[in-house]
Amino acid sequence: MTAAFASTRDLVKRFGPGAPALDGVTMDVVPGRITGLIGPDSAGKTTLIRLLAGLLRPDSGTIEVLGDVPGTHAIDIGYMPQRFGLYEDLSVLQNLTLYAELRGLPREEHDPTFARLMDFTDLARFQARPAGKLSGGMKQKLGLACALIRTPKLLLLDEPGVGVDPISRRELWSMVKTLTGEGIAVLWSTAYLDEAEACDHVYLLDSGKLLFGGPPGDMTGKIADRVFRLSGFAGNRRKLLEKVLDRPEIADGTIQGSGLRLLLRAGSAAPADLGGTLDPAPPRFEDAYVDILGGGPGGTSKLAEVYREVPHDERPAIEAKGLTKVFGDFTAAEQIDFTIPRGEIFGLLGPNGAGKSTTFKMLCGLLKPSAGTGSVAGHDLRRAAAAARASLGYMAQKFSLYGDLSVKQNLEFFAGAYDLDRAAAKAAIERMVAIFDLESRLGADAGTLPLGYKQRLALACAVMHEPPVLFLDEPTSGVDPITRREFWTHINGLVGRGVTVLVTTHFMDEAEYCDRIALIYRAREIAIGTPDDLKAQARRAGAGDDPTMEDAFIALIEASDREREKAQAA
Protein backbone atom coordinates (compact mmCIF):
# COMPACT_ATOMS: atom_id res chain seq x y z
CA MET A 1 0.00 0.00 0.00
CA THR A 2 1.25 3.50 -0.88
CA ALA A 3 2.38 5.47 2.16
CA ALA A 4 0.13 8.40 3.07
CA PHE A 5 1.48 11.94 2.64
CA ALA A 6 -0.81 13.06 5.48
CA SER A 7 -2.44 11.02 8.21
CA THR A 8 -4.23 11.46 11.52
CA ARG A 9 -4.91 8.98 14.29
CA ASP A 10 -7.57 9.54 16.99
CA LEU A 11 -7.29 13.29 16.41
CA VAL A 12 -9.03 15.61 18.90
CA LYS A 13 -9.27 19.41 18.72
CA ARG A 14 -11.19 21.60 21.15
CA PHE A 15 -12.01 25.30 21.18
CA GLY A 16 -12.99 26.00 24.77
CA PRO A 17 -15.57 24.02 26.77
CA GLY A 18 -18.23 21.92 25.12
CA ALA A 19 -18.06 19.28 22.42
CA PRO A 20 -14.75 19.03 20.54
CA ALA A 21 -14.48 20.37 16.98
CA LEU A 22 -12.81 17.07 16.04
CA ASP A 23 -13.40 13.93 18.07
CA GLY A 24 -11.16 10.93 17.42
CA VAL A 25 -10.69 11.37 13.65
CA THR A 26 -8.48 8.87 11.81
CA MET A 27 -7.76 9.39 8.11
CA ASP A 28 -5.11 9.15 5.35
CA VAL A 29 -4.38 11.32 2.32
CA VAL A 30 -2.54 9.21 -0.25
CA PRO A 31 -0.46 10.47 -3.21
CA GLY A 32 -1.86 10.13 -6.71
CA ARG A 33 -5.50 10.45 -5.76
CA ILE A 34 -8.11 13.02 -4.73
CA THR A 35 -9.41 12.48 -1.20
CA GLY A 36 -12.77 14.14 -0.57
CA LEU A 37 -13.80 15.74 2.73
CA ILE A 38 -17.52 16.38 3.25
CA GLY A 39 -19.98 17.11 6.02
CA PRO A 40 -22.54 19.63 7.30
CA ASP A 41 -21.66 23.12 8.51
CA SER A 42 -19.49 23.02 11.66
CA ALA A 43 -18.58 19.38 11.00
CA GLY A 44 -14.87 20.12 11.49
CA LYS A 45 -13.67 20.12 7.86
CA THR A 46 -11.86 23.47 7.92
CA THR A 47 -10.41 22.72 11.37
CA LEU A 48 -8.96 19.45 10.05
CA ILE A 49 -7.40 21.15 7.02
CA ARG A 50 -5.87 23.88 9.20
CA LEU A 51 -4.38 21.24 11.48
CA LEU A 52 -2.81 19.49 8.47
CA ALA A 53 -1.47 22.84 7.24
CA GLY A 54 0.21 23.43 10.61
CA LEU A 55 -1.95 26.45 11.47
CA LEU A 56 -3.47 24.77 14.54
CA ARG A 57 -2.21 22.23 17.06
CA PRO A 58 -4.21 19.20 18.20
CA ASP A 59 -5.23 18.58 21.81
CA SER A 60 -4.65 14.84 21.51
CA GLY A 61 -4.05 12.17 18.91
CA THR A 62 -1.37 12.31 16.24
CA ILE A 63 -0.86 14.04 12.88
CA GLU A 64 1.87 13.24 10.40
CA VAL A 65 2.44 15.31 7.26
CA LEU A 66 5.15 14.25 4.80
CA GLY A 67 6.68 12.05 7.48
CA ASP A 68 6.92 14.73 10.16
CA VAL A 69 4.86 17.06 12.34
CA PRO A 70 2.72 19.61 10.45
CA GLY A 71 4.59 22.74 9.40
CA THR A 72 7.99 21.06 9.12
CA HIS A 73 7.78 20.78 5.33
CA ALA A 74 5.61 23.84 4.62
CA ILE A 75 7.46 24.48 1.36
CA ASP A 76 6.04 21.20 -0.01
CA ILE A 77 2.42 21.99 0.90
CA GLY A 78 -0.04 23.95 -1.22
CA TYR A 79 -2.96 25.39 0.77
CA MET A 80 -6.00 27.14 -0.69
CA PRO A 81 -8.37 28.30 2.09
CA GLN A 82 -12.05 29.09 1.55
CA ARG A 83 -11.37 32.80 1.16
CA PHE A 84 -8.08 32.73 -0.67
CA GLY A 85 -5.98 35.82 0.02
CA LEU A 86 -5.88 37.42 -3.40
CA TYR A 87 -4.94 41.09 -3.51
CA GLU A 88 -7.77 42.53 -5.58
CA ASP A 89 -5.97 45.76 -6.55
CA LEU A 90 -3.02 43.78 -7.92
CA SER A 91 -3.06 42.19 -11.36
CA VAL A 92 -3.00 38.45 -11.97
CA LEU A 93 0.73 38.60 -12.68
CA GLN A 94 1.42 40.78 -9.63
CA ASN A 95 -0.45 38.32 -7.37
CA LEU A 96 1.66 35.46 -8.71
CA THR A 97 4.83 37.50 -8.20
CA LEU A 98 3.85 38.32 -4.62
CA TYR A 99 3.21 34.67 -3.75
CA ALA A 100 6.44 33.63 -5.45
CA GLU A 101 8.31 36.03 -3.17
CA LEU A 102 6.40 34.87 -0.08
CA ARG A 103 7.11 31.20 -0.90
CA GLY A 104 10.80 31.87 -1.59
CA LEU A 105 10.76 30.88 -5.25
CA PRO A 106 14.18 31.75 -6.75
CA ARG A 107 13.98 34.79 -9.03
CA GLU A 108 15.33 32.89 -12.04
CA GLU A 109 12.39 30.46 -11.75
CA HIS A 110 9.70 33.18 -11.81
CA ASP A 111 9.17 33.51 -15.55
CA PRO A 112 9.06 29.79 -16.43
CA THR A 113 6.85 29.06 -13.39
CA PHE A 114 4.42 31.87 -14.23
CA ALA A 115 4.27 30.78 -17.87
CA ARG A 116 3.51 27.18 -16.81
CA LEU A 117 0.79 28.25 -14.36
CA MET A 118 -0.76 30.74 -16.81
CA ASP A 119 -0.98 28.00 -19.41
CA PHE A 120 -2.29 25.47 -16.88
CA THR A 121 -5.09 27.79 -15.67
CA ASP A 122 -5.73 29.56 -19.01
CA LEU A 123 -5.13 32.95 -17.38
CA ALA A 124 -2.39 34.20 -19.72
CA ARG A 125 -4.75 36.57 -21.57
CA PHE A 126 -5.86 38.08 -18.24
CA GLN A 127 -2.45 38.55 -16.62
CA ALA A 128 -2.75 42.36 -16.59
CA ARG A 129 -6.31 42.37 -15.19
CA PRO A 130 -6.78 43.28 -11.49
CA ALA A 131 -7.82 40.23 -9.46
CA GLY A 132 -10.87 42.14 -8.19
CA LYS A 133 -12.22 42.33 -11.75
CA LEU A 134 -11.98 38.60 -12.42
CA SER A 135 -15.07 36.38 -12.44
CA GLY A 136 -15.56 33.94 -9.57
CA GLY A 137 -14.21 31.05 -11.63
CA MET A 138 -11.12 33.01 -12.67
CA LYS A 139 -10.42 34.01 -9.06
CA GLN A 140 -10.50 30.36 -8.03
CA LYS A 141 -8.09 29.47 -10.84
CA LEU A 142 -5.75 32.26 -9.75
CA GLY A 143 -6.00 31.07 -6.14
CA LEU A 144 -5.04 27.57 -7.28
CA ALA A 145 -2.14 28.95 -9.31
CA CYS A 146 -0.85 30.83 -6.25
CA ALA A 147 -1.09 27.63 -4.19
CA LEU A 148 0.99 25.85 -6.87
CA ILE A 149 3.79 28.46 -7.06
CA ARG A 150 6.10 25.78 -5.71
CA THR A 151 4.90 22.39 -6.95
CA PRO A 152 3.61 20.77 -3.75
CA LYS A 153 3.62 17.17 -2.65
CA LEU A 154 0.40 17.75 -0.68
CA LEU A 155 -2.39 20.09 -1.87
CA LEU A 156 -5.07 21.15 0.64
CA LEU A 157 -8.19 22.69 -0.96
CA ASP A 158 -10.91 24.05 1.33
CA GLU A 159 -14.11 24.25 -0.77
CA PRO A 160 -12.45 25.59 -3.94
CA GLY A 161 -15.68 25.38 -5.97
CA VAL A 162 -17.87 27.60 -3.77
CA GLY A 163 -19.71 30.24 -5.81
CA VAL A 164 -18.29 28.92 -9.08
CA ASP A 165 -20.40 27.91 -12.09
CA PRO A 166 -20.49 24.27 -13.33
CA ILE A 167 -18.17 24.89 -16.29
CA SER A 168 -15.51 26.54 -14.12
CA ARG A 169 -15.88 23.80 -11.48
CA ARG A 170 -15.31 21.10 -14.10
CA GLU A 171 -12.26 22.96 -15.38
CA LEU A 172 -10.92 23.31 -11.83
CA TRP A 173 -11.53 19.62 -11.19
CA SER A 174 -9.78 18.64 -14.42
CA MET A 175 -6.74 20.74 -13.48
CA VAL A 176 -6.48 19.16 -10.04
CA LYS A 177 -7.01 15.66 -11.45
CA THR A 178 -4.04 16.29 -13.73
CA LEU A 179 -1.91 17.04 -10.66
CA THR A 180 -2.70 13.66 -9.09
CA GLY A 181 -1.25 12.05 -12.21
CA GLU A 182 2.03 13.68 -11.21
CA GLY A 183 1.89 11.96 -7.80
CA ILE A 184 0.53 14.89 -5.77
CA ALA A 185 -1.76 14.03 -2.84
CA VAL A 186 -4.93 16.15 -2.83
CA LEU A 187 -7.43 16.74 -0.01
CA TRP A 188 -10.55 18.41 -1.46
CA SER A 189 -13.22 19.72 0.92
CA THR A 190 -16.50 20.38 -0.86
CA ALA A 191 -20.21 21.17 -0.48
CA TYR A 192 -20.84 19.83 -4.01
CA LEU A 193 -21.54 16.13 -3.66
CA ASP A 194 -21.10 15.44 -7.37
CA GLU A 195 -17.46 16.44 -6.78
CA ALA A 196 -17.25 14.15 -3.75
CA GLU A 197 -18.73 11.30 -5.81
CA ALA A 198 -15.87 11.69 -8.30
CA CYS A 199 -13.17 11.47 -5.59
CA ASP A 200 -11.10 8.33 -5.22
CA HIS A 201 -11.74 8.19 -1.47
CA VAL A 202 -14.04 10.24 0.75
CA TYR A 203 -14.39 11.04 4.46
CA LEU A 204 -17.68 12.24 5.97
CA LEU A 205 -17.55 14.28 9.18
CA ASP A 206 -20.48 15.33 11.37
CA SER A 207 -20.09 17.31 14.60
CA GLY A 208 -16.41 16.41 14.65
CA LYS A 209 -16.94 12.65 14.32
CA LEU A 210 -15.99 10.51 11.35
CA LEU A 211 -19.12 8.76 10.03
CA PHE A 212 -17.66 7.22 6.88
CA GLY A 213 -14.32 6.66 5.19
CA GLY A 214 -13.92 4.79 1.93
CA PRO A 215 -14.67 4.86 -1.81
CA PRO A 216 -17.83 6.88 -2.59
CA GLY A 217 -19.41 3.87 -4.28
CA ASP A 218 -19.34 1.94 -1.01
CA MET A 219 -21.52 4.60 0.62
CA THR A 220 -23.88 4.86 -2.36
CA GLY A 221 -24.30 1.10 -2.48
CA LYS A 222 -25.95 1.11 0.95
CA ILE A 223 -29.12 2.72 -0.45
CA ALA A 224 -29.15 1.02 -3.87
CA ASP A 225 -32.72 -0.33 -3.63
CA ARG A 226 -34.29 2.62 -1.78
CA VAL A 227 -34.35 5.38 -4.42
CA PHE A 228 -37.42 5.96 -6.61
CA ARG A 229 -38.80 8.48 -9.08
CA LEU A 230 -42.46 9.42 -8.80
CA SER A 231 -44.08 10.59 -12.05
CA GLY A 232 -47.48 10.83 -13.70
CA PHE A 233 -49.24 12.35 -10.70
CA ALA A 234 -51.92 15.03 -10.87
CA GLY A 235 -51.69 18.38 -9.14
CA ASN A 236 -48.92 20.64 -7.91
CA ARG A 237 -45.53 18.98 -7.48
CA ARG A 238 -44.50 21.29 -4.61
CA LYS A 239 -47.62 20.53 -2.58
CA LEU A 240 -47.18 16.81 -3.18
CA LEU A 241 -43.51 17.00 -2.14
CA GLU A 242 -44.51 18.76 1.09
CA LYS A 243 -46.96 15.97 1.95
CA VAL A 244 -44.59 13.17 0.93
CA LEU A 245 -41.68 14.53 2.99
CA ASP A 246 -43.82 14.52 6.13
CA ARG A 247 -44.44 10.77 5.79
CA PRO A 248 -42.39 8.62 8.21
CA GLU A 249 -41.18 6.16 5.55
CA ILE A 250 -39.65 8.91 3.38
CA ALA A 251 -36.10 9.95 4.33
CA ASP A 252 -35.64 12.55 1.60
CA GLY A 253 -37.23 13.94 -1.52
CA THR A 254 -36.47 16.53 -4.17
CA ILE A 255 -38.14 17.90 -7.29
CA GLN A 256 -36.70 16.47 -10.50
CA GLY A 257 -38.23 17.93 -13.65
CA SER A 258 -41.95 17.17 -13.68
CA GLY A 259 -41.53 14.39 -11.10
CA LEU A 260 -40.18 13.77 -7.60
CA ARG A 261 -37.07 11.86 -6.54
CA LEU A 262 -37.64 9.97 -3.27
CA LEU A 263 -35.42 8.10 -0.80
CA LEU A 264 -37.03 5.52 1.48
CA ARG A 265 -35.86 4.92 5.02
CA ALA A 266 -34.16 1.60 5.68
CA GLY A 267 -36.68 -1.18 6.20
CA SER A 268 -39.60 0.78 4.72
CA ALA A 269 -41.79 -0.51 1.91
CA ALA A 270 -42.42 1.64 -1.16
CA PRO A 271 -45.75 3.46 -0.65
CA ALA A 272 -48.51 2.60 -3.10
CA ASP A 273 -50.83 5.55 -2.40
CA LEU A 274 -48.91 8.52 -3.83
CA GLY A 275 -51.13 8.91 -6.87
CA GLY A 276 -48.55 8.32 -9.57
CA THR A 277 -46.05 5.83 -10.96
CA LEU A 278 -43.16 4.90 -8.67
CA ASP A 279 -40.14 3.53 -10.54
CA PRO A 280 -36.71 2.53 -9.17
CA ALA A 281 -34.02 5.16 -9.85
CA PRO A 282 -30.22 4.93 -9.80
CA PRO A 283 -28.87 6.01 -6.39
CA ARG A 284 -26.66 9.07 -6.13
CA PHE A 285 -23.95 9.84 -3.62
CA GLU A 286 -26.06 12.75 -2.35
CA ASP A 287 -28.89 10.31 -1.50
CA ALA A 288 -26.46 8.27 0.61
CA TYR A 289 -25.12 11.43 2.28
CA VAL A 290 -28.60 12.54 3.36
CA ASP A 291 -29.43 9.02 4.53
CA ILE A 292 -26.34 8.60 6.72
CA LEU A 293 -27.08 11.98 8.36
CA GLY A 294 -30.59 10.87 9.30
CA GLY A 295 -32.64 12.19 6.38
CA GLY A 296 -33.88 15.58 5.23
CA PRO A 297 -35.76 18.24 7.23
CA GLY A 298 -39.33 17.28 6.30
CA GLY A 299 -41.77 19.12 4.07
CA THR A 300 -43.60 21.65 6.26
CA SER A 301 -42.25 25.20 6.46
CA LYS A 302 -42.90 27.01 9.74
CA LEU A 303 -42.23 30.25 7.88
CA ALA A 304 -44.91 29.56 5.27
CA GLU A 305 -47.42 28.61 7.97
CA VAL A 306 -47.37 32.15 9.41
CA TYR A 307 -46.79 34.08 6.15
CA ARG A 308 -49.59 36.14 4.66
CA GLU A 309 -51.38 35.03 1.49
CA VAL A 310 -50.22 37.24 -1.39
CA PRO A 311 -53.34 38.52 -3.24
CA HIS A 312 -53.92 37.51 -6.84
CA ASP A 313 -52.94 40.15 -9.39
CA GLU A 314 -53.30 40.05 -13.16
CA ARG A 315 -50.12 42.08 -13.56
CA PRO A 316 -46.79 40.21 -13.74
CA ALA A 317 -45.01 39.96 -10.40
CA ILE A 318 -41.68 40.63 -12.17
CA GLU A 319 -41.10 41.82 -15.72
CA ALA A 320 -37.98 42.63 -17.73
CA LYS A 321 -38.26 44.21 -21.18
CA GLY A 322 -35.03 44.71 -23.07
CA LEU A 323 -33.04 45.34 -19.88
CA THR A 324 -29.53 46.43 -20.80
CA LYS A 325 -26.62 47.68 -18.69
CA VAL A 326 -23.42 49.13 -20.13
CA PHE A 327 -20.33 50.07 -18.10
CA GLY A 328 -18.11 52.18 -20.35
CA ASP A 329 -17.30 49.95 -23.33
CA PHE A 330 -18.41 46.77 -21.52
CA THR A 331 -21.97 45.44 -21.86
CA ALA A 332 -22.86 43.47 -18.71
CA ALA A 333 -26.46 42.64 -19.71
CA GLU A 334 -28.13 43.05 -23.09
CA GLN A 335 -31.79 42.85 -24.10
CA ILE A 336 -32.93 40.66 -21.19
CA ASP A 337 -36.63 39.75 -21.52
CA PHE A 338 -38.89 37.68 -19.27
CA THR A 339 -42.25 37.86 -17.50
CA ILE A 340 -42.92 36.08 -14.19
CA PRO A 341 -46.48 35.64 -12.85
CA ARG A 342 -47.49 35.47 -9.18
CA GLY A 343 -46.43 32.32 -7.32
CA GLU A 344 -43.69 31.12 -9.67
CA ILE A 345 -40.01 30.31 -9.12
CA PHE A 346 -37.94 31.67 -11.99
CA GLY A 347 -34.25 30.83 -12.23
CA LEU A 348 -31.44 32.81 -13.80
CA LEU A 349 -28.57 30.47 -14.67
CA GLY A 350 -25.27 31.21 -16.33
CA PRO A 351 -21.50 31.14 -15.89
CA ASN A 352 -19.72 33.57 -13.58
CA GLY A 353 -19.70 37.02 -15.16
CA ALA A 354 -22.59 36.25 -17.53
CA GLY A 355 -24.78 39.13 -16.31
CA LYS A 356 -27.07 37.44 -13.77
CA SER A 357 -26.24 39.65 -10.78
CA THR A 358 -26.34 42.76 -12.98
CA THR A 359 -29.88 41.81 -14.06
CA PHE A 360 -30.79 41.23 -10.41
CA LYS A 361 -29.48 44.62 -9.35
CA MET A 362 -31.37 46.41 -12.12
CA LEU A 363 -34.63 44.76 -11.08
CA CYS A 364 -33.91 45.59 -7.42
CA GLY A 365 -33.43 49.25 -8.28
CA LEU A 366 -29.77 49.09 -7.22
CA LEU A 367 -28.53 49.73 -10.77
CA LYS A 368 -30.11 52.06 -13.30
CA PRO A 369 -30.62 50.32 -16.66
CA SER A 370 -28.85 51.80 -19.67
CA ALA A 371 -31.86 50.76 -21.75
CA GLY A 372 -35.08 48.80 -21.38
CA THR A 373 -37.63 48.70 -18.57
CA GLY A 374 -38.50 46.52 -15.62
CA SER A 375 -41.20 46.23 -12.99
CA VAL A 376 -41.65 44.52 -9.63
CA ALA A 377 -45.11 43.93 -8.12
CA GLY A 378 -46.55 46.31 -10.71
CA HIS A 379 -44.13 49.15 -9.88
CA ASP A 380 -42.09 50.53 -12.79
CA LEU A 381 -38.39 50.69 -11.89
CA ARG A 382 -37.89 54.03 -13.65
CA ARG A 383 -40.87 55.84 -12.15
CA ALA A 384 -41.41 54.08 -8.80
CA ALA A 385 -38.09 52.49 -7.82
CA ALA A 386 -38.68 53.05 -4.08
CA ALA A 387 -42.09 51.34 -4.21
CA ALA A 388 -40.58 48.45 -6.17
CA ARG A 389 -37.80 47.98 -3.58
CA ALA A 390 -40.35 48.03 -0.75
CA SER A 391 -42.24 45.18 -2.45
CA LEU A 392 -39.35 42.75 -2.47
CA GLY A 393 -37.02 40.90 -0.14
CA TYR A 394 -33.41 40.66 -1.33
CA MET A 395 -30.91 38.00 -0.27
CA ALA A 396 -27.58 38.82 -1.88
CA GLN A 397 -24.52 36.72 -2.64
CA LYS A 398 -22.56 36.07 0.57
CA PHE A 399 -25.65 37.32 2.46
CA SER A 400 -26.46 40.99 3.09
CA LEU A 401 -25.58 40.94 6.77
CA TYR A 402 -23.57 43.33 8.93
CA GLY A 403 -20.86 41.13 10.40
CA ASP A 404 -19.98 43.47 13.27
CA LEU A 405 -23.61 43.70 14.42
CA SER A 406 -25.21 41.00 16.54
CA VAL A 407 -27.96 38.75 15.22
CA LYS A 408 -30.55 40.81 17.11
CA GLN A 409 -29.12 44.10 15.82
CA ASN A 410 -29.24 42.83 12.23
CA LEU A 411 -32.90 41.90 12.66
CA GLU A 412 -33.64 45.31 14.19
CA PHE A 413 -31.76 47.11 11.42
CA PHE A 414 -33.65 45.37 8.61
CA ALA A 415 -36.98 45.86 10.38
CA GLY A 416 -36.22 49.59 10.32
CA ALA A 417 -34.98 49.49 6.73
CA TYR A 418 -38.31 47.96 5.68
CA ASP A 419 -40.15 50.69 7.62
CA LEU A 420 -41.89 48.42 10.14
CA ASP A 421 -43.28 50.36 13.10
CA ARG A 422 -42.16 49.44 16.62
CA ALA A 423 -44.96 46.96 17.35
CA ALA A 424 -44.76 45.29 13.93
CA ALA A 425 -40.96 45.09 14.16
CA LYS A 426 -41.12 43.47 17.61
CA ALA A 427 -43.65 40.88 16.41
CA ALA A 428 -41.69 40.16 13.20
CA ILE A 429 -38.40 39.71 15.07
CA GLU A 430 -40.01 37.33 17.56
CA ARG A 431 -41.44 35.27 14.67
CA MET A 432 -38.09 35.09 12.87
CA VAL A 433 -36.20 34.11 16.03
CA ALA A 434 -38.65 31.27 16.72
CA ILE A 435 -38.89 30.01 13.13
CA PHE A 436 -35.14 30.01 12.45
CA ASP A 437 -34.04 28.90 15.94
CA LEU A 438 -31.94 32.03 16.58
CA GLU A 439 -32.65 32.53 20.30
CA SER A 440 -29.33 31.09 21.52
CA ARG A 441 -27.36 33.25 19.06
CA LEU A 442 -29.05 36.65 19.40
CA GLY A 443 -26.00 38.21 21.05
CA ALA A 444 -23.44 36.73 18.65
CA ASP A 445 -21.92 38.89 15.91
CA ALA A 446 -23.33 37.84 12.54
CA GLY A 447 -19.83 37.54 11.10
CA THR A 448 -18.96 34.77 13.58
CA LEU A 449 -21.95 32.55 12.78
CA PRO A 450 -21.59 29.18 11.04
CA LEU A 451 -22.56 29.44 7.39
CA GLY A 452 -25.90 27.68 7.87
CA TYR A 453 -26.95 30.17 10.55
CA LYS A 454 -25.81 33.09 8.40
CA GLN A 455 -28.12 31.79 5.70
CA ARG A 456 -31.04 31.48 8.14
CA LEU A 457 -30.47 35.01 9.41
CA ALA A 458 -30.17 36.42 5.88
CA LEU A 459 -33.47 34.81 4.87
CA ALA A 460 -35.12 36.04 8.07
CA CYS A 461 -33.98 39.60 7.33
CA ALA A 462 -35.27 39.36 3.75
CA VAL A 463 -38.79 38.13 4.62
CA MET A 464 -39.62 39.80 7.94
CA HIS A 465 -41.80 42.41 6.16
CA GLU A 466 -43.61 39.62 4.22
CA PRO A 467 -42.88 40.88 0.69
CA PRO A 468 -44.79 39.49 -2.31
CA VAL A 469 -41.52 39.06 -4.27
CA LEU A 470 -38.19 37.49 -3.24
CA PHE A 471 -34.86 37.97 -5.02
CA LEU A 472 -32.35 35.27 -4.07
CA ASP A 473 -28.84 35.73 -5.50
CA GLU A 474 -26.94 32.45 -4.96
CA PRO A 475 -28.60 32.00 -1.56
CA THR A 476 -27.14 28.55 -0.82
CA SER A 477 -23.55 29.04 -2.01
CA GLY A 478 -21.23 26.89 0.10
CA VAL A 479 -24.05 25.50 2.25
CA ASP A 480 -24.31 21.75 2.85
CA PRO A 481 -27.14 19.67 1.27
CA ILE A 482 -29.22 19.26 4.45
CA THR A 483 -29.25 23.02 5.10
CA ARG A 484 -30.03 23.64 1.43
CA ARG A 485 -33.05 21.34 1.69
CA GLU A 486 -34.27 23.21 4.76
CA PHE A 487 -33.96 26.47 2.81
CA TRP A 488 -35.91 25.14 -0.19
CA THR A 489 -38.63 23.78 2.10
CA HIS A 490 -39.24 27.39 3.14
CA ILE A 491 -39.11 28.70 -0.44
CA ASN A 492 -41.52 26.06 -1.74
CA GLY A 493 -43.88 26.85 1.14
CA LEU A 494 -43.76 30.60 0.43
CA VAL A 495 -44.52 30.03 -3.25
CA GLY A 496 -47.60 28.12 -2.10
CA ARG A 497 -48.68 31.35 -0.36
CA GLY A 498 -48.37 33.28 -3.63
CA VAL A 499 -44.83 34.65 -3.23
CA THR A 500 -42.88 35.03 -6.49
CA VAL A 501 -39.19 34.09 -6.46
CA LEU A 502 -36.34 35.09 -8.76
CA VAL A 503 -33.25 33.01 -7.97
CA THR A 504 -29.73 32.42 -9.23
CA THR A 505 -27.79 29.32 -8.26
CA HIS A 506 -24.76 27.26 -9.23
CA PHE A 507 -26.32 24.10 -7.75
CA MET A 508 -27.94 22.56 -10.81
CA ASP A 509 -30.12 20.23 -8.73
CA GLU A 510 -31.70 23.37 -7.23
CA ALA A 511 -32.57 24.57 -10.72
CA GLU A 512 -35.03 21.66 -10.82
CA TYR A 513 -37.18 23.54 -8.28
CA CYS A 514 -37.73 26.36 -10.79
CA ASP A 515 -40.91 26.54 -12.85
CA ARG A 516 -38.92 28.19 -15.64
CA ILE A 517 -35.30 29.10 -16.26
CA ALA A 518 -33.51 31.70 -18.35
CA LEU A 519 -29.94 30.79 -19.28
CA ILE A 520 -27.75 33.89 -19.63
CA TYR A 521 -24.36 33.80 -21.34
CA ARG A 522 -22.11 36.62 -22.47
CA ALA A 523 -24.72 39.13 -21.26
CA ARG A 524 -27.52 37.69 -23.41
CA GLU A 525 -30.40 35.30 -22.86
CA ILE A 526 -29.64 32.15 -24.89
CA ALA A 527 -32.42 29.81 -23.69
CA ILE A 528 -35.64 30.00 -21.67
CA GLY A 529 -38.14 27.35 -20.59
CA THR A 530 -38.91 24.72 -17.96
CA PRO A 531 -36.08 22.52 -16.69
CA ASP A 532 -37.39 19.71 -18.91
CA ASP A 533 -37.52 22.11 -21.90
CA LEU A 534 -33.84 22.98 -21.42
CA LYS A 535 -32.91 19.31 -21.10
CA ALA A 536 -34.76 18.62 -24.37
CA GLN A 537 -32.82 21.44 -26.06
CA ALA A 538 -29.61 19.95 -24.66
CA ARG A 539 -30.48 16.52 -26.08
CA ARG A 540 -30.85 18.11 -29.50
CA ALA A 541 -27.45 19.76 -28.94
CA GLY A 542 -25.84 16.37 -28.33
CA ALA A 543 -25.94 16.06 -24.51
CA GLY A 544 -27.08 12.41 -24.56
CA ASP A 545 -30.41 10.69 -24.02
CA ASP A 546 -30.96 11.60 -20.35
CA PRO A 547 -29.02 14.79 -19.52
CA THR A 548 -28.95 16.25 -16.03
CA MET A 549 -29.47 19.98 -15.53
CA GLU A 550 -25.69 20.35 -15.31
CA ASP A 551 -25.29 18.48 -18.60
CA ALA A 552 -27.93 20.76 -20.14
CA PHE A 553 -26.22 23.90 -18.78
CA ILE A 554 -22.87 22.94 -20.31
CA ALA A 555 -24.32 21.67 -23.60
CA LEU A 556 -26.31 24.86 -24.23
CA ILE A 557 -23.31 27.07 -23.39
CA GLU A 558 -21.12 25.07 -25.77
CA ALA A 559 -23.80 25.20 -28.49
CA SER A 560 -23.94 28.99 -28.11
CA ASP A 561 -20.15 29.17 -28.48
CA ARG A 562 -20.30 27.10 -31.67
CA GLU A 563 -22.99 29.36 -33.14
CA ARG A 564 -20.98 32.48 -32.26
CA GLU A 565 -17.80 31.06 -33.81
CA LYS A 566 -19.72 30.09 -36.95
CA ALA A 567 -21.17 33.60 -37.22
CA GLN A 568 -17.73 35.18 -36.77
CA ALA A 569 -16.26 32.93 -39.45
CA ALA A 570 -19.02 33.77 -41.96
State pLDDT tens for residues 92-128: 999 999 999 988 889 999 999 999 888 888 788 888 8
Distance CA 530, CA 532 (A): 5
Quick one: pLDDT at residue 126?
Answer: 85
Residue 565 binned pLDDT confidence (cut-offs 50, 70, 90): confident
User: Is the pLDDT confidence value at 546 over 90?
Assistant: no
pLDDT tens-place string over residues 15-49: 988 899 999 999 999 999 999 999 988 899 999 99
- Residue 84: pLDDT above 70? no
* Mean pLDDT (whole number) for 382-389: 80
How do residues 184-203 score in pLDDT, each as one tens digit? 999 999 988 988 999 999 99
Query: Taking residues 47-75, what's their average pLDDT?
Result: 94
Query: Do residues 210 and 204 touch, judged by C-beta distance below 8 A?
Result: yes
The amino acid present at 368, given as its one-letter code, is: K
Q: Residue 399's pLDDT band (boundaries 50, 70, 90)?
A: low
Q: How far apart are CA 165 and CA 171, in angstroms?
A: 10
pLDDT of residue 235: 85
Tens-place pLDDT, residues 202-223:
999 999 999 999 999 999 999 9
Q: What is the pLDDT of residue 139?
A: 83
- Is the pLDDT reported for residue 478 higher than 60? yes
* pLDDT tier at 175, thresholds 50, 70, 90: confident
Q: Judge whether 202 and 215 are in contact, CB under 8 Å.
A: yes
What type of residue sits at position 392? L
Angle between helices 136-147 and 110-121 (to 10 degrees): 140
Q: Is the pLDDT of residue 398 over 80?
A: no
**Which of the two residues, 397 and 460, has the higher pLDDT score?**
460
Q: Is the pLDDT of residue 247 over 80?
A: yes
Instruction: State the pLDDT confidence band at 69, using cuts at 50, 70 and 90.
Output: very high
Who wins on pLDDT, 355 or 432? Answer: 432
User: What is the percentage of the chain residues whose pLDDT exceeds 90?
Assistant: 62
Mean pLDDT of 395-405: 80
Task: Reply yes or no on whether the pLDDT at 163 is more than 80.
Answer: no
Place domain 6-214 in its CATH homologous superfamily.
P-loop containing nucleotide triphosphate hydrolases (3.40.50.300)
Strand order from edge to edge, sheet including 500-504: 392-395, 469-473, 500-504, 345-349, 516-521, 524-529
CATH superfamily of 315-391+476-570: P-loop containing nucleotide triphosphate hydrolases (3.40.50.300)
502 falls in which pLDDT band (50, 70, 90)? very high
Average pLDDT over residues 145-168: 86
- pLDDT at residue 1 above 60? no
> Mean pLDDT, to the nearest integer, of 333-358?
91
Q: What is the 3-state secondary structure (H, E, C) of 323-377?
A: EEEEECCEEEEEEEEEEECCCCEEEEECCCCCCHHHHHHHHHCCCCCCEEEEEEC
Q: What is the pLDDT of residue 464?
A: 93
* pLDDT value at residue 381: 84
Crossing angle for the helix pair 92-102 and 110-121, to the nearest 10 degrees: 130
Average pLDDT of the chain to the nearest whole number: 91
Please check whether residue 505 is in contact with residue 520, taking contact to mean a CB–CB distance below 8 angstroms. Answer: no
- Name which of 123-127, 180-184, 341-345 the model is least confident about: 123-127
Instruction: Give yes or no for residue 161 having a pLDDT over 70.
Output: yes
pTM: 0.88
Q: What pLDDT is recorded for position 397?
A: 66
Q: Which residue has the higher pLDDT, 424 or 168?
A: 424
Q: Tell whether the model's pLDDT for residue 242 goes beyond 60.
A: yes
Task: Give the three-state DSSP class for 185.
Answer: strand
Cβ(56)–Cβ(50) below 8 Å: yes
User: Quick one: pLDDT at residue 164?
Assistant: 77
Range in 51-60, 286-295, 307-316, 378-387 with the lowest mean pLDDT? 378-387
